[in-house]
Amino acid sequence: MIDPFGRSISYLRVSVTDRCDFRCIYCMSEHMTFLPKNEVLSLEELDRLCTAFIHKGVRKLRLTGGEPLVRRDVMTLFNSIGRHIKTGALEELTLTTNGSQLARHADALFNAGVRRINVSVDTLDAAKFEKITRWGKLPQVLDGIRAAKEAGLKVKINTVALNHINNDEFDHLIEWCGSEGFDLTFIETMPMGDIDGDRTQDYLPLSQVRAQLAQKWTMKDSDHRTGGPARYVTVEETGGRVGFITPLTHNFCESCNRVRLTCTGTLFMCLGQNDAADLRAPLRAHPNDDAPLLAAIDEAIGRKPKGHDFIIDRRHSGPAVPRHMSVTGG
């Protein structure tokens, strides 16, 4: 799949549910209204859509949410998609999770063909963790991460940089990840959805974070890539890698190789734009014929925009797009 700007689309992120057992302050409002269940694709429909994209050239597939592991029987989807790993049609099946359900699913994820996961951890302070996630418990997440490591899964920690909230913990996170053998990626907060607050007070540019880190750590640019937008450095003191995802201070659109599919079958060609394609209609209208579905995918890729237009400042404190990150797939 080649978009209008010559970029090869080989990475699909799939939100299997908009529901989550946390209410992180930068992602959701505390009192969310979730999709009616009859609007959400069945696991079998999600498998059919994923398979169609794999036939079109997707080589890396990430399941996300909301929190993907809260969806009932979600492991059947992992196992089903895992068959494409065994045939070589798919190079990598990965997962982004808040870690709350990892302890009971880690072994099954490995058996399904998952080898690498991203876990969101914004703080190692239990009280602060509850403040950021509203409903989360840090010990439960740390137990899940430990289980994932023991199961053989490579863990990457995702940390959203939040001004006046966790900016005093970045050194601690680097030390912890270095000692555990985890990669760490810092992410700028993104202006998506109504989150019950003013984003300008929490926004922290990663250029500032990197300058802060350079006062203590020796960071060398790395050519390590995972297929996503992060740009990595190696920290000489720990030997670990630290990535930076900068949708605002340095937009990464020129190398974008990904599209996002929601749990309702809506395909977003860009995280920061509203244009989308309805794949549920051809999926359900032609249950035994993939040709209309494949044609709809081709048409959508032909509309992929050059990039997003995220801005956070005093004049743009509201969401750039109305949907929450949990709907699109975080």
Q: What angle do CA 198, 204, 207 make, to 5 degrees?
A: 155
Specify the DSSP class assigned to residue 197.
S
Residue 4 falls inside a structural domain:
no
Within-domain flag for 50: yes
- With a pLDDT cut of 70, the percent of the chain lying above it is 87
- Residue 54 has a pLDDT of 98
Residue 250 has pLDDT above 60, yes or no: no
Report pLDDT digits (tens) over 17-50: 999 999 998 888 888 888 888 899 999 999 999 9
pLDDT band per the 50, 70, 90 thresholds, residue 310: very low
CA distance 153 to 117: 7
> Do 35 and 264 meet the contact criterion of CB atoms below 8 Å apart?
yes
Q: What tokens appear for 312 in the block?
A: 């956070």
| pLDDT reading at 96 higher than 70 | yes
Q: How far apart are CA 193 and CA 283, in angstroms?
A: 28
The helix or strand, by DSSP H or E, that contains position 258, with its residue range, turns out to be strand 258-261
Q: Can you tell me the distance from the alpha carbon of 236 to that of 178, in angstroms, rounded to the nearest whole number?
A: 10
How many domains is the chain partitioned into structurally?
1
CA distance 162 to 180: 23
Q: Which amino acid is present at 259?
A: V
Domain coverage including residue 232: 11-328
Nearest Cα to 25, choosing from 247, 271, 209, 189?
Answer: 189
Q: Which amino acid is at 231?
A: R
Is there a contact between 298 and 1 (Cβ–Cβ < 8 Å)?
yes
Residue type, 323: R
**Can you give the pTM of this predicted structure?**
0.86
Handedness of CA 103, 170, 317, 249 (dihedral sign): negative
User: How far is the C-alpha of 309 from the C-alpha of 247, rounded, in Å?
Assistant: 9
Residue 2 lies in a domain: no
Give the C-alpha distances (Å, rounded to integers) separating 216 from 61, 205, 219, 252.
36, 18, 9, 27
Coil, strand or helix at 309: coil
Per-residue pLDDT tens digits for 105-148:
999 999 999 999 999 999 999 999 999 999 999 999 999 999 99
For 181, phi then psi, to 5°, come to 80, 25
Read off the pLDDT of residues 162-209 as tens digits, 9 standing for 90 and up: 998 999 999 999 999 999 999 999 998 866 445 455 556 778 999 999
With respect to residue 5, please indicate whether it lies within any of the assigned structural domains.
Answer: no
3-state secondary structure of 66: coil
Asked whether residue 54 is assigned to any structural domain, the reply reads: yes
Residue 263 has which token pair? 């749990």
Q: Where are the beta strands (DSSP E) in 65-148?
A: 92-97, 116-120
Residue tagged 């048409």 (tokens)? 299
Alpha carbon separation from 109 to 77, 94, 112, 169, 287 (Å, rounded): 11, 9, 5, 30, 29
Residue with tokens 């689309």: 9
Cis ω for the linkage preceding 243 (within 30 of 0): no
Domain with 321 in it: what CATH number?
3.20.20.70
Say if 56 falls within a structural domain.
yes
- Look at residue 126 and tell me if it is in a domain: yes
CA–CA distance from 65 to each of 22, 70, 82, 299, 304 (Å)?
11, 9, 18, 25, 22
**For helices 138-151 and 102-112, what crossing angle results, to 10°?**
30
Is 123 within the bounds of a domain?
A: yes
Residue 313 has pLDDT above 50, yes or no: no
